[in-house]
Amino acid sequence: MGSQSASLLTLNEQDKQQQKKPEPKPSGGGLWLGGIAFTIVMAMFGFALAKVPGFDRVGPLACAIVIAVIYRQFFGYPEKIRAGIQFSAKRFLRFAIILYGLKLNIDVVLHQGLGLIVRDVGVITFAILFTVWLGKLLKAESSLVLMLGVGTGVCGAAAIAAVSPIMKAKDEETAIGVGIIALVGTIFSIIYTILRPILPLSAMDYGIWSGISLHEIAHVALAGAPAGPDGLAIALLAKLGRVLLLVPLCFILMYWVKKRNVGNAGDTKIEFPWFLIGFIFMSLFGSYVLGKSIPVSQAVMDGISTATTFILTTAMVGLGLNVSLRDLRTKALRPLTAMLITSVILSVVSYFIA
């Protein structure tokens, strides 16, 4: 009896251990691809929403982030496909920045926009330093404020996306920053178009003002259009000068972050932003090869631009899924206030130096 009882107990223990063993997980590759597909589908919804009147002023990036944030609040974060979502948020983001280099015609900026670059340097310096200073006064999240300062001074969402890995910013902060910059930039560009008929500025001066003060290339294009072809051209040229300065700014930030982290154990290494090398290469390729050694139609260039925006939008979905509305009220209000004040002052000051 004793031996039988012992054997029964042993069998029961073995059964319990077998029940405790976790079930085999599904193939990781399928879940990884599922996560990427999920962000692509949501990006398509963002593009579709951006076609709706009213939302077309905001653009697909902000629309996709809004959709992702709403999904997160109602359905939670899709943990099973996290790997694929994070791949979109990180890798697609860097790939989009590399392709973004094709938008920068270095040859045109260096030959026609050197005078504008001096003003661009002043705009970027003011936007970053003043936003950071205001953020300290308002006791706002320092990394988010710095990203907003960079986005305001340089080129909006693309600049935030470029500096966030250097600053080791959280995905949530990056997504909030992109959403804020898209919203504020859209509002300002609409105000510019309303003010255009009543301002005592020539088409060229208005174009320069738009190009050195508005946040993204899309905002500059929207605001510069009422000034006619010449005004729009000079506006985009002034904006491209700011985009060109993104590269040296990133290396300055790398030096600053590394110096600030000296003495902080385990946090002194900074991953070199290799995507910036790709950005420079694509800028040189687009400036001196495409259209010259390799003839390319405008339709192809427009297609590449749309693809770049879509890839960046897909990355924004991955970032937007990290945003919690519960934390948004406490994290976003003060940085938004600092950025708004900076943007208003920047617009006024740049008006007089245009």
Q: Is residue 176's pLDDT more than 80?
A: yes
Can you tell me the mean pLDDT for 5-11?
42
| pLDDT score at 269 | 59
- Kindly state the helix (H) or strand (E) to which residue 301 belongs, with its residue range: helix 298-320
Q: Which residue has the higher pLDDT, 150 or 183?
A: 150
pLDDT in the model for residue 182: 82
- Global pTM reads 0.75
Backbone angles phi, psi at 176, to 5 degrees: -60, -45
State yes or no: pLDDT of 221 exceeds 90.
no
CA distance 46 to 68: 9
Q: Where are the chain's structural domains?
A: 35-353
Mean pLDDT of 255-269: 67
Scanning the structure block, which residue is given the tokens 């939008």? 313
pLDDT computed for residue 12 by the predictor? 47
DSSP class of residue 197 equals G
- 3-state class of 350 per DSSP? helix
| Angle (CA) 289 292 297, round 5° | 100
Q: Residues 71-97: what's their mean pLDDT?
A: 87
Q: Is 23 helix (H, G, I), strand (E, B) or coil?
A: coil
Residue type, 291: G
pLDDT of residue 267: 52
For residue 109, pLDDT over 60 is answered with yes
**pLDDT score, position 1:** 47
**Helix H or strand E segment including 79:** none
Residues 123 and 130: beta-carbon distance below 8 Å: no
On the question of pLDDT at 15 being above 50, the answer is no
Range of 156-165, 259-268, 289-298 with top mean pLDDT: 156-165
Question: What is the per-residue pLDDT for 200?
Answer: 92
Give the helix/strand (H/E) hosting 57: none
pLDDT at 60 > cutoff 60:
yes
pLDDT band at 107 (very low <50, low <70, confident <90, very high): confident
Percentage, residues of the chain above pLDDT 70 = 87
- Reply yes or no on whether the pLDDT at 98 is more than 60: yes
Q: Convert 65-79 to b/e letters by CB count within 10 Å (16 or more is b).
A: bbbbbebbeeeeebe
What pLDDT digit, counting tens, does each position of 270-291 carry? 666 787 888 889 988 988 887 6
Q: According to the model, what pLDDT value does residue 309 have? A: 87
CA distance 116 to 210: 12
pLDDT(100) > 80:
yes
Angle value at C-alpha 54, between 51 and 56, nearest 5 degrees: 35
- Please tell me the predicted confidence (pLDDT) of residue 8: 39
Burial (CB count within 10 angstroms: exposed 0-12, middle 13-18, buried 19+), residue 7: exposed
pLDDT of residue 28: 56
Non-local CB neighbours of 72 within 8 Å, separated by 6+ positions: 320, 321, 322, 323, 324
137-163, pLDDT tens digit by residue?
999 989 999 999 999 999 888 899 889
User: Over the stretch 26-56, which tens digit does the pLDDT of each residue have?
Assistant: 445 668 889 999 999 999 999 999 888 878 7
CA angle (284, 286, 288) in 5-degree steps: 65
